[in-house]
Amino acid sequence: MAEFIELQNVCFSAQEGMIIQDVSINFTPNKTTAIVGPSGGGKSTVLKLSAGLLVPSSGEVLYKGKNITQMNRNENLEFRKEGAFVFQDSALWANQTLFQILELPLKIHYPKMNAKERASKIKKVTEEAGYRKDLNIRPSRLSMGEQKLIAFARALLCDPSLLFLDEWTESLDESAADRLINIVRRKQREGASILFVSHDMRLIIDLADYVVIITDGRVQASAPKDSIISDLLLNDFVKIGIAS
């Protein structure tokens, strides 16, 4: 059986030069993988490549054996519905209200859902994420933490079985972070496949089944979490900038 998500000899370059160099990773379905490494080492780029948000300069990113860049429209829509991405900076549209931002995925993926059903779904996921304020305002009215809650709620709207989470507890107080962690734990119990980037050692230890270490745009290690943790002490993680 084909791996769930597989990167084959992937390179990615931008104006600043080569960011990812010859990366090959197999992500295991129905498990949680932490992608870790020092700032600027390429871990967020690997996450975005895995989600099909960036196109490799060379190599292939496969989803269930299919090259993401070669999917037809229907295959791509199904992939976008099944997977959801939480960006480090939340990535909320500045010229839309929170409700409009949250309503769009439902309009795309559930075209037969009526306005009342969309409103009910939006209310449910925002409350689950811990946001209970006005949805008819724009993101600029929110704190960074509140923006992260809306971004997380948006990721839950289509009941994804695949989550991509980039520094998803940053800017949150402990109570709000714990709420999102509990949602991730629920998704794990439901059998979701989760890829996340974090410097938080608590998240790595508590949530990950596998750990991939990326430094200088290359994979330095990829193994079950317990094996990685036994090989590297906490001081080692801090020393090389993986955890704080």
> What is the set of domains in the chain, with CATH numbers?
5-239 (3.40.50.300)
How far is residue 103's CA from residue 40's CA, in Å, rounded to a whole number? Answer: 33
- Who wins on pLDDT, 14 or 236? 14
Place of tokens 């949150």: 172
How far is residue 106's CA from residue 115's CA, in Å, rounded to a whole number? Answer: 10
Mean residue pLDDT across the chain: 92
Q: What integer pLDDT is reported at residue 123 of this predicted model?
A: 97
Q: What integer pLDDT is reported at residue 23 of this predicted model?
A: 97
Residue 189, Cβ density class (10 Å: 0-12 exposed, 13-18 middle, ≥19 buried) = exposed
Note the pTM of the prediction, 2 decimals: 0.92
- Beta pairing, strands 210-215 & 32-36: parallel
pLDDT digits (tens, 9 = 90+) for 123-175: 999 999 999 999 999 999 999 999 999 999 999 999 999 999 999 998 899 99
pLDDT band with cut points at 50, 70 and 90 for residue 44: very high
User: Residue 2 gets which letter from DSSP?
Assistant: -
pLDDT digits (tens, 9 = 90+) for 177-221: 999 999 999 999 999 999 999 988 889 999 999 999 999 999 998
pLDDT(2) > 60? no
Asked if 214 contacts 36 with a C-beta cutoff of 8 angstroms, the reply is: yes
pLDDT band with cut points at 50, 70 and 90 for residue 14: confident
Q: Which residues contact 222 (CB under 8 A, 6 or more apart)?
A: 25, 210, 211, 212, 213
How far is residue 182's CA from residue 172's CA, in Å, rounded to a whole number? Answer: 14
